[in-house]
Amino acid sequence: MFLNLKKVLFVSVIALLANQLIAQKRLLTIEEATNGLTTTLATKGVINPSWQPGTECFWQVIKDGDKEYWQVINYCQAEHEAPFFVQQGKYPVTETVTAIPAIKWLNNKQAYFINGKNIILGTLSNRTWTWETLVALPEKAENITVDKSMQVAFTLKNNLWLWHPGVGQIRVTNFENESVVNGQAVHRNEFGIDKGIFFSPKGSLMAYYCMDQTMVKYYPIVKWDAMPARADEVTYPMAGDVSHEVTLVVFDPHTGKKVTMHTGETERDHYLTSVTWSPDEKYIYIAILNREQNHLCLNKYNVSNGNKVITLFEEWSKAYVHPTHPLTFISGKNEQFIWWSERDGFEHLYLYSTNGIKIKQLTKGKWVVNELLGFNMDAKKVLFTSSLGDPREKHIYSVGLDDLVMNRIDKDRGMHTGLCCEDGKYVLDVYSASDIPKNSIIRATNCDFRDELVISKNPLELYERPETRNVEITAADGKTTLYGKLILPLHFNGSNKYPVIVYLYNGPNVQLVHNSFPASGNLWYDYMAERGYVVFVMDGRGSWNRGIDFEQVTHLNLGKIEMEDQLKGVEYLKSLPFVDASRMGVHGWSFGGFMTTSLMLKYPNIFKCAVAGGPVMDWKMYEVMYTERYMSTPKKNPSGYASSNLLDKVSNLKGKLLLIHGTNDDVVVWQNSINFLRKCVDEGVQVDYFVYPGHEHNVRGKDRVHLMEKITEYFDEYLKK
């Protein structure tokens, strides 16, 4: 009896201690749920990592209290050198630098960083940096591009300038009409285009985009911070309208000569993508995509006269061809390059000669190549990342250029990114998984060597964590597997009934569900789980990373297949005994805002309330490049545009709908939701609305906390009752 009493007391004490430990766990604040992963709850990793060119030396910044140091680790097997520190040196007297900056290498001994509008050049000697101001650029300089030749290109408004060592500033273009734009990204940054300046490999020449927008309609973006407010006009070609015309010009800084590539004197209504210099600087390659985006020609041009030399090959598609990468020439082989293509149904790498002959397909299978990392030419291998095995993960692989043998380089589950040294023998592998906050490891690419640099502690260790379950659902076609996540309320009790929030995007080029940290994928999901919600997220057909059949099934009818798949997710939720089907909400932004509004209007009896941010309401009001890829033109596809148009379906609304838009949105223009409000008034339909003055397509920074608090309160008001 006495022993049993001792056992009861012991168990009671343990239970009490366990409850105290649970009680000590923290809950997320709305600030932490919104911006915590990039601020106070950020995982720890390598600071300012880089590989020194021509070496196997890895550079990182080490912090010791208030002090910072450059640490260098030489992984060359012949050296076996212990890590050493490099003196940062003194900056020019006019420069104020509060922390060691991230540098970009120009060569083995020189690197630079940009401080404000100043290019600061560093020279390395005897393990010490010596810094000088290479050039001070004008205050309004943009699109700053520094070449290894130490030339600096930049734009002022719509014109292009070049700073050349020993010469100074050269004005490359002089267009008074600001609708002719030079040296900037074109085609509204579609097709992987993120720049408009392309130096040749040795810096002898410079190519740049010239975009003529004089024929494009202007669109007013109101600036509310002026008194009185003013309208800034931007060019915004909408689906089916006249689009801009783009050419590629080559400039010789030594002679001042400019040569325009002859990409189409009779046909200018097309897209110029994948701009790549030949290693010998004699030619430039341009992938030309037609306006319909279903036919691509990879052309080779002579830079001395602009003439087309040859069309290397063509690609066709019943839906669309979507080039997003330049050519990658094989190191040491100036006549061979790698081309990305989805021609066999998945994004893979192909080896070509410069005369247009396909040498071989390097990667193949029902999976997608995600990134091309580099080459290990000693081992004759290409290094890349891919979704092989599970589209919810990404891993680092090599493939032999000769034997096509593939090897996985990383060893752990999760989402991996890689940074290779120049010779490809080592890679910085940074990865996370649901239970791995972040690991940063140097790995050899041809053996089992590894060096753990940073193993991050769990920044959420002191917080109560909801349970996240991985979910697999069959799509509406009855055969395709869809991946999702279910985040359960804290202190989950399967016998209770909980409200549900479905978060979605389900649009092109986006994937929400990964095996990464945190397990839920978003701390706001966790925050809502703390407040008693079940949160559900799923990637339906039409989203990214599953091949063209998965992605292109939505072609010409955006929203239809995507909603059918999301409704399969709803069916799954309703089958769960702890889900209260009468208290379901849905939320999404951008394409997700379009999906959210579509579900509320086309399936009005499912969701009690919804929040749609930056929603497209009528695809005729969205930009040419994106919309016509997925929907063709309103003239050629009237039924698709009519079906997806939400303005004439306002009267179907039954639940509560909150629309949110940034007043300065130049992606999904504000007119989308304004026109929707007009229709609500006309139809006598009540809808809730909130705008964020001065914000563009999304709400960033501290104001995002206000946004997420508003969304949370809206669901609390209408789903907790």
Higher-pLDDT residue of 6 and 297 is 297
Helices 703-719 and 523-530: crossing angle, nearest 10°? Answer: 40
In tens, the pLDDT along 516-538 reads: 999 999 999 999 999 999 999 99
How much is the pLDDT for 11?
A: 46
**CA 689 – CA 465 distance, rounded (Å):** 33
**Residue-wise pLDDT tens digits, 68-121:** 999 999 998 766 678 999 999 999 988 999 999 999 999 999 999 999 999 999
d(CA 718, CA 503) in angstroms, rounded, equals 16
Buried/exposed 393-425: b ≥16 CB within 10 Å, e otherwise: bbbbbbbebeeeebeebbeebbbbbbbbbbbbb
Assigned token pair, 316:
């066709």
Where are the alpha helices (H) located in 450-587, listed in sequence order?
Answer: 523-530, 548-552, 560-575
Q: Is the pLDDT of residue 1 over 70?
A: no
Using CA atoms, how far apart are residues 431 and 438, in angstroms rounded to an integer? Answer: 6
Measured distance CA(187)–CA(464) in Å, rounded: 46
Structure tokens at 149: 């030749």
Q: Is the pLDDT of residue 15 over 70?
A: no
| pLDDT tens profile 258-292 | 999 999 876 788 999 999 999 999 999 999 999 99
d(CA 444, CA 438): 19
Instruction: Provide the pLDDT for residue 349.
Output: 98
Question: How many beta carbons lie within 10 A of that of residue 588, not counting itself?
Answer: 27
Distance, in Å, from the CA atom of 628 to the CA atom of 191, rounded to the nearest integer, reads 13
Q: What is the pLDDT of residue 23?
A: 54
Three-state SS letters, 102-124? CCEECCCCEEEEEECCEEEEEEE
Please compute Rg for the chain using Cα positions: 28
**pTM of the predicted model as reported, rounded to 2 decimal places:** 0.95
Cα separation, 56 vs 81, whole angstroms: 11
Q: Which amino acid type is present at position 483? A: Y
| In this structure, CATH architecture of domain 468-719 | 3-Layer(aba) Sandwich (3.40)
Q: In the predicted model, what is the mean pLDDT of the chain?
A: 95
Q: Which residues pair with 78 in a beta bridge?
A: none
Give the CA count within 13 Å in the CB-facing half-sphere of 362: 29
Distance CA(472)–CA(476), nearest Å, equals 13
The domain spans of the chain are: 468-719
Query: Which tokens belong to 373?
Result: 């990392």
- Can you tell me the distance from the alpha carbon of 282 to that of 495, in angstroms, rounded to the nearest whole number? 72
Question: Could you give the CA distance from residue 165 to residue 400 in angstroms, rounded to a whole number?
Answer: 41
At residue 166 the predicted structure's pLDDT band, cuts being 50, 70 and 90, is confident
Q: How many CB atoms lie within 10 A of CB 487?
A: 25
- Per-residue pLDDT tens for 424-444? 999 999 999 999 999 999 999
Residues identified as active-site: 590, 665, 697
147-150 — which CB contacts under 8 Å span 24+ positions? 147/199, 147/203, 147/206, 148/106, 148/107, 148/199, 148/203, 149/199, 149/202, 149/203, 149/204, 150/106, 150/121, 150/203
| Sheet of strand 84-86: strand arrangement | 47-51, 57-64, 67-74, 84-86
Provide the 10 A C-beta neighbour count for residue 358. 13
For 677-702, what is each residue's pLDDT tens digit? 999 999 999 999 999 999 999 999 99
Whether the predicted pLDDT of 5 surpasses 50: no
Confidence of residue 714 (pLDDT cuts 50, 70, 90): very high
- Which amino acid type is present at position 679? K
CA dihedral 381, 386, 389, 394 (to 10 degrees): 120
DSSP 499: E
Cβ–Cβ < 8 Å for 416, 538: no
Give the mean model confidence (pLDDT) for residues 229-238.
94
State the SS3 of 336-367: EEEEEECCCCCCEEEEEECCCCEEEECCCCCC
The pLDDT assigned to 81 comes to 74
Q: Which residue has the tokens 């701009």?
A: 275
DSSP-derived 3-state class of residue 3: helix
CA dist 221 and 586 (Å) reads: 29
**Coil vs helix vs strand at 521:** coil
Percentage of the residues of the chain whose pLDDT score is greater than 70: 96
